[in-house]
Amino acid sequence: MATTTYRYLANDVLETFRQLSDDAEIGLTQVVFWINVIANRLRKQHIQKVDTGTHLVIFQNVPVSIEVNSNRKYFDLPKSIYDYGNDRGIDYITYQDITDCCEGPAFTEIMFSQTSVRNSRTLYYDPYQTPASTNPFFYRVKNRVYMLGLECIDVPNGLEMGLYTTIDITESGCNLDDQVDLDDELITILKYEVLNLGRFALIIPNERINEGSDQTTQAIRANQIEVPAINQPKDYVRVNDAQQQAE
Amino acid sequence: MPIVAQEIIDRVRQVGLDAEGADYYSDTVDIIPSINAAVEWLTAIINSAFGQKKMGEEVFQDLVAARVFQASDNSRIYLNPSDLGHELWTILGVYVKPKVKEGGWLIGTLSGVQVSPTAPKAIFVYPSTTDLSVVTAGSTVAFTYKDKTTGVETTTSFIVQAVNNNTKAILVDTSPITDLGAFLNIGDTVTAKAIYLKASITSTPIIDTLATPDNSIYRPDLVHISSEHSAKRLTVEEWAKNSKNPFMAGNEVLSSGCDTLVYAYMNYTDYGAPNMPYTIPREIEIRPSVKNEAVTVFYARRPKPIVTGTDNIEFPGFFSNWIFDKALQYISFKQGDGTTIYNVTAADINTLLQSVT
């Protein structure tokens, strides 16, 4: 897990871009937003590659509801999850058999298997696969997860589930002392990618920013794009200048 | 250091006019009014140069003040010159949620009271942000309590017996009230304003609601100590556009506790409506709302005109030449156009102006 906080990372990016003045073009909120956007992508790739429980988030006692019109049992995902193939963003869903109080925790008991709307029909052809309370299935439609096999029973203690949840892009980092939920070895990549995003913001020529004054008499320099170098952001290179030098 | 007016008067008389000892030029009729006019002219120049960031804030070093105000229900502040005792020149910064110190009675926000089972003793618990390091045993605590039955409020002083700055708790002897239980039960938590400490406590102040909700008030009882939230100045157009943009200052999208939130303020506006009892001449507005909260405004006041040679011209010493040249030029007006003094000072002034504009 990461030990880097948003405060260090975001301010490091702003410092690198020299965007700490009161008239800075890039703000702290924006950098934190970029961090979350990139961190989400890196986390998704990392979880896919590395099979550990580092990023697994467990939710307990998630209540099962019944959809009014269809009478189907479902629950809404308590948090947004990564969208992997075969719904592998949901690591497991389980519930405890309340008739047996001497068994282990819920996740050692009745485990749900994944299916989909399209594939679930075939389950009922095979008596060994038919969804039942001892062999339940789940399928996902957007953020709602439906269950097959629980039609005839109640689950008073709710469900337990392990999810690979995403970083909340709009909320995470609101407390700058929170740690960025990303492994330390990925922080360098994160910073590089955030700096890349920042370059696009800084590449916009000043002439395209509304200063509120009529400057039609001045020469328009719209084609002069300033490209900040990532390692030396202050050393802007004017594309036109560089082209002229090359010529 | 400000400029002593007599130095400029002497210089004008001796160097510029070659009139030392002569009574052709009078201090009160000629030189002092010219100096005051020069100061006003310089004020206009600095306005322009400062706005274009061609002058730093040190030009205001003799004029800067920080005053704490309590914002109105509309999150607005009127910097009333008659309250402040001077005219305002320009706002240098607006700080939100300041930590303040009160001159005499310093206020700490009370988060709870526990009446000790071994009364007459009580433990007052303050929020974790309160600095109790300056409170010592023997300090006085004023406790405003309300009778449970009659609702009558009374203020009594207690002596602090022990302070724990880690748990933010103060143990007081409530002996003036032998039966504190008549007012509080064991374990009672008082969330309203109830305790004032007569020691130096730096914290976010407790602010009462305003008697007239539309009117902000100046708080001469509060001294600004620090703040982590400066507000960015926005134009009238930006004010509306930024409102729902989470990346811009002054937005109302981020929650007020968010570290990345940047407050903003809009400059003076007269919001008065002819048919409404809203007669505040001009107010600045702060967003997100700081309704009834303390706000510190850093501003430069207008330099006072000098009356005698012993007065100070409230500009730093490096403006001596500006004021000297311009005062001399004003005097030269009386001598008719094209005089040597006029041309010489005009050249000097141009040189100085070119350095900042």
How confident is the prediction along chain B (357 residues), in pLDDT tens digits per residue?
778 888 888 888 777 777 777 777 777 888 888 889 888 888 887 877 776 666 677 777 778 899 999 999 999 999 999 888 888 888 989 999 998 875 433 334 444 455 555 555 666 666 666 667 766 777 776 665 555 556 566 666 777 777 887 877 777 776 655 555 445 444 444 433 334 443 334 556 656 677 788 889 888 778 888 898 999 999 998 999 999 999 999 999 988 889 999 999 999 999 988 888 888 889 999 999 999 889 999 998 888 888 888 888 888 888 888 888 888 888 877 776 566 777 777 777 777 777 665
Question: Which residues of A are less than 8 Å from B235 in CB distance?
Answer: 212
Which pLDDT does position B177 carry in this prediction? 58
Q: Is B261 on the interface with A (CB under 8 A)?
A: yes
Angle of helix B32-51 relative to helix B320-333, nearest 10 degrees, comes to 130
8 Å CB contact of A212 and B247:
no
Average model confidence (pLDDT) across chain A: 83
Q: Nearest CA to B130 among B100, B156, B104, B160?
A: B100
User: Phi and psi of B190, rounded to 5°?
Assistant: -105, 115
Bigger pLDDT: A231 or A9? A9
What b-and-e string marks burial along A32-71, b requiring 16 or more CB atoms within 10 Å of the CB?
bbbbbebbbebbbebbeeeeeeebeeebeebebeeeeeee
Q: Are B233 and B263 in contact (CB under 8 A)?
A: no
Which pLDDT does position B276 carry in this prediction? 83
Q: Is B257 on the interface with A (CB under 8 A)?
A: yes
Instruction: Tell me which residue has tokens 């947004």.
Output: A80
Which pLDDT does position A56 carry in this prediction? 94
Structure tokens at B81: 């010159």
pLDDT band at A202 (very low <50, low <70, confident <90, very high): confident
For chain A, what percent of residues have pLDDT higher than 90?
54
CA gyration radius, chain A: 26
8 Å CB contact of B249 and A27:
yes
On the question of pLDDT at A131 being above 90, the answer is: yes
Pick from A33, A170, A176: CB nearest B259: A176
Which pLDDT does position B130 carry in this prediction? 67
Residue range A125-154: mean pLDDT, rounded? 92
Q: Is B262 on the interface with A (CB under 8 A)?
A: yes
8 Å CB contact of A32 and B260:
yes
Bigger pLDDT: A13 or A203? A13
Q: How far apart are CA B135 and CA B126, in angstroms?
A: 12
One-letter amino acid for residue A223 of the chain: N
DSSP β-bridge partners for residue B123? B114, B171
Which pLDDT does position B158 carry in this prediction? 72
Tell me how close the Cα of B284 comes to any Cα of chain A, in angstroms. 19
pLDDT digits (tens, 9 = 90+) for A67-113: 998 999 999 999 999 999 999 999 999 998 766 566 666 667 789 99
Helix (H) or strand (E) holding B268: strand B263-269
8 Å CB contact of B247 and A27:
yes
Nearest CA in chain A to B93: A22
B88 CB burial (10 A radius; 0-12, 13-18, 19+):
middle
Asked if omega into B120 is within 30° of 0 (cis), the reply is yes
Question: Which residues of A are less than 8 Å from B261 in CB distance?
Answer: 29
Nearest CA in chain A to B260: A29
Helix (H) or strand (E) holding B66: strand B64-70
Beta-carbon contacts of residue A6 (< 8 Å; ≥ 6 apart): A32, A35, A172, A173, A175, A176, A177, A178, A179, A180
Q: How far apart are CA B225 and CA B100, in angstroms?
A: 5
User: Phi and psi of B46, rounded to 5°?
Assistant: -65, -40
Which pLDDT does position B31 carry in this prediction? 84
Beta-carbon contacts of residue B38 (< 8 Å; ≥ 6 apart): B322, B323, B326, B327, B330
